[in-house]
Structure 1
Amino acid sequence: MKLTVAAIQMDIELGNPKENIKRASKRIEQAAENKPDVIVLPELWTTGYDLERLDVIGDANGEEIKRIMSSLARQYKVNIVAGSVAKKTDKGIFNTLYAFNRKGEMTGEYSKLHLIRLMQEEKFISPGSSKGNFMLENVPAAGVICYDIRFPEWIRAHILDGASILFVPAEWPSQRLTHWRNLLITRAIENQCYVVGCNRVGSDKNNTFAGHTMVIDPWGEIVAEAGGEEETILYAEISTDLVEEVRTRIPVFEDRRPEFY
């Protein structure tokens, strides 16, 4: 099966959900004109890293974003991996990814498991406790968030549950761009899957973000890559047949010896 991905590399206005929802909705409308199969958004795209105010500007149980993204998916008849948003609950605030099918039905929900101390996430956000696997057009897929890609065992857990495509919404800073690119490529190679990394651009009061939204195939080849400064929509075609071909030619999963790990 061939699928066209549209990854939205956008700037985010710190602490302004209303403006960011307006921007993202417009970008989704623009992407939908090219009739992709799936549209992807970056991490915390409604608020940015305004961590101190998430208890005020976060989305209660994610209800507003679920309603808006469901409506847009249904309107444009497109799958949406809706990046992640700050979801307020009575158990804490979670950095949560949602996925929707063409009918607007929610097909996946994942809260970021690994919180990055370097950006003080652990002081304001609660960690998730479940995997991010979901189905995309009958294709097993998974979503993780930004810092998660530094934990290969967590990514492998999703692949062992069947994922052929890994979506990675992020707010990855420019000073670690080399890590972003190399980690995404490595995760694609070692897991013999497609990786779609959707990063933001622009700056907030503490960081400048790297952009370089990327789509990487199971051989580790870069299918498409955006630049580092401009807002854009990155399009790429992926083929699930290639995943099967690579896994057959180099049977890594058959040759694993987990009893020793």
Structure 2
Amino acid sequence: MRIAVLQANAVPGQVDTNVARIAGAARRAVEGGAHLLVTPELFATGYVPALVPRILLGTPPEDIVRRLVEVASSCGIALVASAPDRGPDGELYIAAHLFDRAGARLATYRKTHLYGPDEAAVFTPGRGELPVVALHGFRIGFLICYDVEFPEAVRGVALAGADLVCAPTALPEPFGVVARTLPPARALESQVYVAYANHCGREGDTVLSGRSIIAAPDGTVLAAAEAAGEELLFADLDPELQRASRADNRYLAERRPDVYATWERPARTA
């Protein structure tokens, strides 16, 4: 399977503009032979959490989803896109949706680890559900941005059966080191592909760090973007590489969860 990862600068509050940018990237991804496009966190609204409730007054979550469905179906490519998602009691989540090339929504993941007071003031953390969906011979799982900084999260998606972890991201400066080090490390630790799609440029008062990346199960970097500027990354995912990596590095097979449970208990002092 060939995947594409979009790095771009969204315009906060301009849903039409942002969805049009996703559509343009989707068309370029199809031209490049990609089966799946992964886009950044909250790209449809722009990454300014405080603005999201006001944006949703004019463009509710279901309308944003409808527009993303149209992108996937009109361009003929599977799409991972992040947008606000509303729960049954009105609570808001940061979500990542997977649509197939016909526009059917196959999965929705809600961000487990909210980052900082700005996100916590607007959104509710997800409850840790980890959907995994088969597509083009690969099993796809999801995390969002800060989730990837917790090794337990990537390991959890791998144990749920994923071969590829798609991670829409809004990583700010000065934390670009996270993008360069953690996706390859997490890929190696759990023998999964990691597609990490970040914003770039300034959105509101936040400067996003770019450096989107696609990492392989052996820890190698298949494609990486610069800090600034829009880029569309491509990579071919090879199931044989993944099988070889899991044979060489038996982290999943040789886990000892019975021991790990004792490590989480408070240490006894002398």
For normalisation by structure 1, the TM-score amounts to 0.92
1:208 is matched with 207
Structure 1 residue 189, shift from structure 2 partner: 0.9
| Structure 1 segments (4+ residues) deviating >4 Å | none
Structure 1 residue 103, shift from structure 2 partner: 2.4
Of 27, 40, 43, which aligns to 2:41?
43
SS in structure 1 at match of 2:240: helix
1:7 is matched with 5
SS in structure 2 at match of 1:110: strand
SS in structure 2 at match of 1:208: strand
How many angstroms apart in 2 are the aligned matches of 1:144 and 1:204?
Answer: 22
2:126 is matched with 128
Q: Which moved more, 1:218-227 or 1:66-75?
A: 66-75
**How big is the alpha-carbon RMSD for the aligned residues of Structure 1 and Structure 2?**
1.6
Structure 1 residue 134, shift from structure 2 partner: 2.2
Structure 1 residue 125, shift from structure 2 partner: 0.6
Any residues of structure 2 matched to 1:54-73 within 5 Å, and which?
54-58=52-56, 60=60, 62-73=61-72
Asked if residue 113 in structure 1 is aligned to residue 112 in structure 2, the reply is yes
Contact 1:211 1:229 in 2 (8 A): yes
SS in structure 1 at match of 2:197: strand
SS in structure 2 at match of 1:202: strand
Structure 1 residue 245, shift from structure 2 partner: 1.4
Q: How many residues align structurally?
A: 256
How many angstroms apart in 1 are the aligned matches of 2:137 and 2:62?
Answer: 26
Q: Identity of paired residues, percent?
A: 28
* 1:122-142 residue CA offsets vs partner (Å, 9 max, x unmatched): 111111112242222242111
Pick the structure with greater CA Rg. 2
How many angstroms apart in 2 are the aligned matches of 1:15 and 1:67?
Answer: 17
How many angstroms apart in 2 are the aligned matches of 1:88 and 1:191?
Answer: 31
2:224 is matched with 225
How many angstroms apart in 1 are the aligned matches of 2:83 and 2:137?
Answer: 25
How many angstroms apart in 2 are the aligned matches of 1:33 and 1:63?
Answer: 29
2:198 is matched with 199
Contact 2:179 2:212 in 1 (8 A): no
1:98 is matched with 97
Change (3 A) 1:77 1:25: closer
Structure 1 residue 241, shift from structure 2 partner: 1.9
Q: Which amino acid letter does the alignment assign opposite residue 37 of structure 1?
A: H
Contact 1:170 1:198 in 2 (8 A): yes
